[in-house]
Structure 1
Amino acid sequence: MNTNVWKVDKYVDNLENNPQVVDAANFLRENELVALPTETVYGLGGNAESDEAVAKIFAAKGRPGDNPLIIHIAERQQLNRFVTEVPPSAAKLMDAFWPGPLTIIFKKKEGALSEKATAGLETVAVRMPDHPVALALLKTCGLPIAAPSANSSGKPSPTKAEHVLDDLNGKIAGVLDGGATGVGVESTVIDCTGTLPVILRPGGVTKEQLEEVIGKVWEDAALKDQSARPKSPGMKYTHYAPNAPLFMVSGTREFLQTLVEEKRGEGLRVGVLTTEENESFYEAELVLACGRRAEIETVAASLYDTLRSFNQGKVDIIFSEIFPNEGVGHAIMNRLEKAAGHKLISE
């Protein structure tokens, strides 16, 4: 399959009539797959009402079929098509954070969406992306679009169109290239179907921000207990991993450098994931700065691009600094833990 690449300037007016956006929307209506930029990562979009389209998403990504997908919409009234009710807590969160990096789980209407998209669950995860190209595409095609991250399952999520092509070129109809994404980690997922809202996946909206709007929220046990059963899209299997094994390191810079020297002494090519503040300290085959520790949002924005860059460096092992497990740092550490398979070396 030839994969089209449509470059779209997100700052131009009237994007819904942009020829590239219209072309991409036509492919979605024909149940083909189109990768689209969002404010978090690039998503792999397909018609959420079509078993055929959703099956193509799972096939292109190599994603297990029991892992549900997030449905993307452009307007709130679309919820009426496939959601049974909007709880008060969800309404408040939509007012505060939509469009934006927040996915809300609702009870679904039976038969309104492909059962493959929801993995047969009684609930559906929905979000409204805060990206002009994504919103224009969603409005133009007029469909609810299932869109997991546009990468091969288990690999770092794509924050640039070229990342999508690295994994999916020849497997999908096209990529809408709207430039690099902003937030860099996926949306927060919160379940509003129970008595109390529960965070199932940390992301671009922090726990603190959510609680400012709706009061106390809980966190799913699976975020801390690896044996618990995850309920959120994208959190059931190992994700975000570079090709080389990744180890998180808790300790001083000096301790991390001793680990590097040990592995170099064994003849291995070593990579270090750090930040701009510490980049010049380390000596290794590949030292990559992932944003600035003093501005933790820059770490989130650069994380997946940095993890992918280690693949080009052909390293044998990677050591990563860790980050404060609060605010956006909670989402960063969640992704690093998944990428490292929870491998942590402590001083």
Structure 2
Amino acid sequence: MPATEHAIFKPGAATTTRAVALLRAGLPIGLPTETVYGLAADACDDKAVARIFEMKGRPTFNPLIIHTASAEMAERFVDFPEAARTLARHFWPGPLTLVLPRKPDCPVSLLASAGLDTLAIRVPAHPAARDILTAFGGPLAAPSANRSGHVSPTTAWHVVEELPVALVVDGGACTVGVESTIVGFEGTTPLLLRPGGVAAEDIEAVLEQRLARRAVNDAINAPGQLNSHYAPNAGVRLDAADVAADEALLAYGPPLTGAALTLNLSPAGDLAEAAANLFAMLRALDHPGISGIAVMPVPETGLGQAINDRLRRAAAPREGRT
């Protein structure tokens, strides 16, 4: 059931304290930005990120935009090519998202980045968002605060009409009102992945070069696009009713026996827990000595639809594999 107007709080010290307490408890909040209102949660907490997907009813594991209080904070998590530094200097804080390589020790949840080796990251300009990010002291994952497929929210009331959040910070109507522009890089070539709140022409003027455009059939590597699949090196076998002694097992609920290595998405059959564990466990099972990864069935309901979508993509035939 959606929240009520009683969940809406005006910005200020007391609201910031309340918001940070909820975030540290792993609970998403409604966060105003200059683009749209975000459903924000601790980007380094797998279960908190899984709650975002669950609350939105998000049908696939699209990567989420990570929000930080400053460019200096962003540099803790991603590597900046020189062109990205130039764009950050000119457009941050503001409605520009950069898709950049994750650092090897990046603590941001793999679920938030959809298992990719990049993060979509930005520094918002809204003062209430920046106050909360500064007080929280870490990155927040924050897709739009609406049910998946619905119109993006630009007021606090839009958020409480759709989502059961305990707190929405009422930062007024969003001043930009459309999502951020997303720019990625192919080597040193800047690539427009999604148009948004910063005009492509303005970015090109700063870089003094044209932005490449993403082809329709290119792999997806940013929010606002269909998701590219995360595929381990080992082959993935779905809906396993048995498991071989040389296979690894990705279990759900009571596990099968006999596998060389077993990890359980959720022994209790909790889909939010399973979603939070999915990418990390697929990677952990991906050992050179195993013949493949057998995956037990996951219910095709709620978050299970998203989990199965990612698993089907992981199991899809690839070059060199039948």
Q: For the superposition of Structure 1 and Structure 2, which TM-score range results when normalised by the shorter chain?
A: 0.5 to 0.7
Question: Which AA in structure 1 matches 2:130?
Answer: L
Aligned to 1:233: 223
* Contact kept in structure 1, 2:83 and 2:188, CA below 8 Å: no
* Contact kept in structure 1, 2:26 and 2:47, CA below 8 Å: yes
1:90 matched to 2:84? The reply is: yes
1:7 matched to 2:2? The reply is: no
Aligned to 2:300: none
Of structures 1 and 2, the one scoring higher in RCO (CA 8 A, sep 6+) is: 2
* RMSD of aligned Cα (Å): 1.8
Aligned to 1:32: 27
- Offset of 1:236 from its aligned partner? 2.2
1:43 to 38, 41, 44: 38
Aligned to 1:165: 160
Change (3 A) 1:217 1:35: farther
Structure 2: distance between partners of 1:140 and 1:73? 11
* Contact kept in structure 1, 2:9 and 2:167, CA below 8 Å: no
Aligned to 1:200: 193
What CA deviation, in whole Å up to 9, does each residue of 1:220-248 have, x standing for no partner? 334xx3x54432202228xxxxxxxxxxx
Aligned to 1:99: 93
1:68 matched to 2:58? The reply is: no
Structure 1: distance between partners of 2:203 and 2:26? 35
Question: Which AA in structure 1 matches 2:101?
Answer: K
Aligned to 1:183: 176
* Contact kept in structure 2, 1:5 and 1:177, CA below 8 Å: no
TM-score (norm: length of structure 2):
0.66
- Offset of 1:2 from its aligned partner? 8.4
1:130 to 118, 125, 133: 125
Structure 1: distance between partners of 2:210 and 2:61? 26
Give the 5 Å matches for 1:134-283: 134-168=129-163, 170=164, 172-192=165-185, 194-222=187-215, 225=216, 227-236=217-226
What CA deviation, in whole Å up to 9, does each residue of 1:141-179 have, x standing for no partner? 1120000000101111000111111211x2x23211111
Structure 1 outlier segments of 4+, above 3 Å: 1-4, 227-230
What is the aligned residue count? 224
Unaligned runs of 5+ in 2: 228-322
Q: Which moved more, 1:192-201 or 1:32-41?
A: 192-201
What CA deviation, in whole Å up to 9, does each residue of 1:293-327 have, x standing for no partner? xxxxxxxxxxxxxxxxxxxxxxxxxxxxxxxxxxx
Question: Which AA in structure 1 matches 2:189?
Answer: L
Query: In structure 1, the residue corresponding to 2:98 is in which secondary structure?
Result: strand
Structure 2: distance between partners of 1:211 and 1:120? 30
